[in-house]
């Protein structure tokens, strides 16, 4: 059996497990951040889930590295996986892929490319926004001179940032909060690029189709 196929088999087998683990990771992180009045026992459960999920991600990364037989080149070639290993909060973004896989498996026709781009961009923005709001809320809500005091403020701030509107009525003040903010800004830039790019290419397609229908007149 070749390395390639063993890698593919590993990935197809662990796909669902890892997707569940990443959603569990996000959920327990959210519970820990938001439910400040939780009894100690539940907090420990959340922490255990966080650690277990992360250990799973690390094992998966190590196995795939091993199976690839590539050495350090693997780290550079799979830089997205490496980033996701260090920042496991971003892992749920991969659920978008799983969603497509599920659709295909059930024999439904795949969405057209435009609808897929819009769906991906929307789902990614939602997930990134929720993650960003959680992280910013965690680091900001107790800081001195903070304007982001409730989770509602954090969500509001995230929406204003992702759409690149940026009112500034609430804004992070701690270094870590601002670092998270830069990540959300990058997501906003990408979202804007996805919306604009989709619209632009959709328009061009419509034009091309209209040109084909009509005889050239001008």
Cα angle vertex 216, ends 212, 218, to 5°? 135
Measured from the CB atom, the residue of 62 and 165 that comes closer to a copy of itself is 165
CB 145 within 8 A of CB 108: no
Tell me the closest approach of the beta carbon of residue 25 to a copy of itself, in angstroms. 26
Cα angle vertex 203, ends 188, 164, to 5°? 15
Among 210, 214, 215, 217, binds a copy of itself (CB under 8 A): 210
Show the binding pattern over residues 88-117: x = contacts a copy of itself (CB under 8 A), - = does not.
-------------------------x---x
Provide Rg for the chain, Cα atoms.
21
Q: Is 178 in the site for a copy of itself (CB under 8 A)?
A: yes
Tell me the closest approach of the beta carbon of residue 108 to a copy of itself, in angstroms. 12
User: Angle of helix 175-213 relative to helix 151-162, nearest 10 degrees?
Assistant: 40
Residue whose tokens read 């889930």: 49
Using CB under 8 A, list all residues that contact a copy of itself: 113, 117, 152, 156, 159-161, 163-169, 171, 173, 175, 178, 181-182, 185-186, 188-207, 210
């Amino acid at each position: 059996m070749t390395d390639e196929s063993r890698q593919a088999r590993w990935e197809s087998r662990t796909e669902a497990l890892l997707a569940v683990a990443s959603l569990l990771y996000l959920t327990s992180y959210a519970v820990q951040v938001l439910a400040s009045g939780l009894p100690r026992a539940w907090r420990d459960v959340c922490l255990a889930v966080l650690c277990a999920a992360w250990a799973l991600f690390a094992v998966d990364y190590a196995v795939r590295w091993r199976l690839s037989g590539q050495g350090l080149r693997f780290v550079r070639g799979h830089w997205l996986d490496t980033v996701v290993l260090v920042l496991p909060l971003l892992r749920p973004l991969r659920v978008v892929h799983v969603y497509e896989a599920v659709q295909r498996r059930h024999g439904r026709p795949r969405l057209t490319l435009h609808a897929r781009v819009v769906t991906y961009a929307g789902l990614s923005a939602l997930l990134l926004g929720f993650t960003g709001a959680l992280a910013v809320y965690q680091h900001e809500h107790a800081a001195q001179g903070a304007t982001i005091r409730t989770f509602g403020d954090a969500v509001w701030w995230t929406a204003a940032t992702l759409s690149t509107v940026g009112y500034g009525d609430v804004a992070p003040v701690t270094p870590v909060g601002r670092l998270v903010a830069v990540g959300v800004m990058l997501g906003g830039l990408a979202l804007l690029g996805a919306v604009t790019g989709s619209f632009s290419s959709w328009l061009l397609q419509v034009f091309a189709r209209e040109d084909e229908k009509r005889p050239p007149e001008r």
